[in-house]
């Protein structure tokens, strides 16, 4: 597996990381724990060194899983986790939206709890999961700066933050990484965010780089999801939207056939070709998908290939919002 450095931070990780959320949260019932521990350890054997989790995934169970799986391999890997939600508040009591909490004292409490669950003495990368409009970002950055000075955190990250927020945070404590949704079916970061990251030397970690599974070509307009799968809440995953959005998957399939690859590998290869400091974190619970995703790091997309993809993609209008309004409002602040 090739390595990449996330911006100017010096944080070196595998070119493709592993998003662990779906192992215990979000995509139906949690998977069998020992099976997922085995998958995570196999990922390390395959050269993956970058693992993404968060306290809210479960909550807590995903951090516990990642911590147990990686404890024997701790010196070989980079673990990213996140703060910023109030896990004591049931989102069903707040119109279905999670409750934000990035108050300094809460950030410190989350850090201590995450360290225990992750079975480690330092968090490699600590993201603010979503910007909290009730807490100045300078206070958030300052708190993480203190945690870095105390040796409890190595690098500071933001997730789904807006351009001005990133600049303000970066002035207090350098932001090493921005995590944001970015893929061939969500390209808004190209408008303002990616040029700013380039300017400031901040790495980009795209989550949902395969469009929450849609860009793999394995989801059709008649696919059914478990009631606990959060894709049932997403406008982009209605049967009508899936039918309309199949055009984008067909495009990936055409390029993939030419390259002796899969649609997923082309989607990930396209991301890797955008900037040398982009590291996608596709999630999976299956070994053959892990190997397929990792194989994207060896896909060579020429400038002509990239032109063909961009030209064809520009003619495709993706149908459906990526999030319900209440969740979309938490992004880009």
| Residues annotated as part of the active site | 57
- For residues 12 and 40, the answer to whether their CB atoms sit within 8 Å is no
For residue 204, give every residue at least 6 positions away whose Cβ sits within 8 Å of its Cβ, in sequence order, or none.
Answer: 6, 7, 177, 178, 179, 180, 182, 189, 193, 194, 197, 275, 277, 278, 279
3-class SS letters over the chain: CCEEECECCCCEEECCCEECHHHCCCECCCCCHHHHHHHHHHHHHCCCCEEECCCCCCCCHHHHHHHHHHHHHHHHCEEEEEECECCCCCHHHHCCCCCECCCHHHHHHHHHHHHHHCCCCCEEEEEECCCCCCCCHHHHHHHHHHHHHCCCEEEEEEECCCHHHHHHHHHHCCEEEEEEECECCECHHHCCHHHHHHHHCEEEEEECCCCCCHHHCCCCCCCCCCCCEHHHHCHHHCHHHHHHHHHHHHHHHHHHHHHCCCHHHHHHHHHHHHCCCECCCCECCCHHHHHHHHHHHHCCCCHHHHHHHHHHHHCCCCCCCCCCHHHHCCCCC
For residue 327, give every residue at least 6 positions away whose Cβ sits within 8 Å of its Cβ, in sequence order, or none.
Answer: 97
- For residues 245 and 170, the answer to whether their CB atoms sit within 8 Å is no
């Amino acid at each position: 597996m090739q390595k990449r450095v996330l911006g100017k931070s010096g944080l070196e990780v595998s070119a493709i990381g592993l998003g662990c959320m779906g192992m215990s949260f979000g995509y139906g019932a949690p998977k069998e724990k020992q099976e997922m521990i085995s998958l995570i350890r196999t990922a390390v054997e395959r050269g993956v060194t970058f693992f993404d989790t968060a306290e809210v995934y479960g909550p807590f169970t995903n951090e516990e899983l990642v911590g147990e799986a990686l404890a024997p391999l701790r010196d070989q890997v980079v673990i990213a986790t996140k703060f910023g939600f109030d896990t004591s508040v049931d989102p069903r009591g707040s119109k279905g939206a999670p409750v934000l909490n990035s108050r300094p004292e809460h950030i410190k409490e989350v850090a201590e709890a995450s360290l225990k669950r992750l079975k480690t003495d330092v968090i490699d990368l600590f993201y603010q999961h979503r910007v909290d409009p009730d807490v100045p970002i300078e206070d958030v950055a300052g708190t993480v700066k203190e945690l870095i000075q105390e040796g409890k955190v190595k690098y500071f990250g933001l997730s789904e933050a807006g351009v001005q927020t990133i600049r303000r945070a970066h002035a207090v404590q350098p932001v090493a990484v921005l995590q944001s949704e970015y893929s061939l079916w969500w390209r808004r970061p190209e408008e303002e965010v990616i040029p700013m990251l380039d300017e400031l030397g901040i790495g980009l970690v795209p989550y949902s780089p395969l469009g929450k599974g849609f860009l793999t070509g394995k989801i059709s307009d008649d696919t059914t999801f478990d009631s606990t799968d959060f894709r049932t809440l997403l406008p982009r995953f209605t049967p009508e939207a899936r039918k309309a959005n199949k055009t984008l998957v067909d495009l990936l399939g055409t390029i993939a056939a030419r390259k002796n690859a899969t649609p997923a590998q082309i989607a990930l290869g396209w991301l890797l070709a955008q900037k040398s400091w982009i590291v996608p974190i596709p999630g999976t619970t299956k070994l053959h998908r892990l190997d397929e995703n990792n194989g994207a790091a060896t896909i060579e997309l020429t400038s002509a290939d990239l032109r063909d993809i961009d030209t064809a993609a520009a003619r495709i209008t993706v149908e459906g919002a990526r999030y319900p309004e209440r969740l979309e409002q938490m992004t880009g602040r």
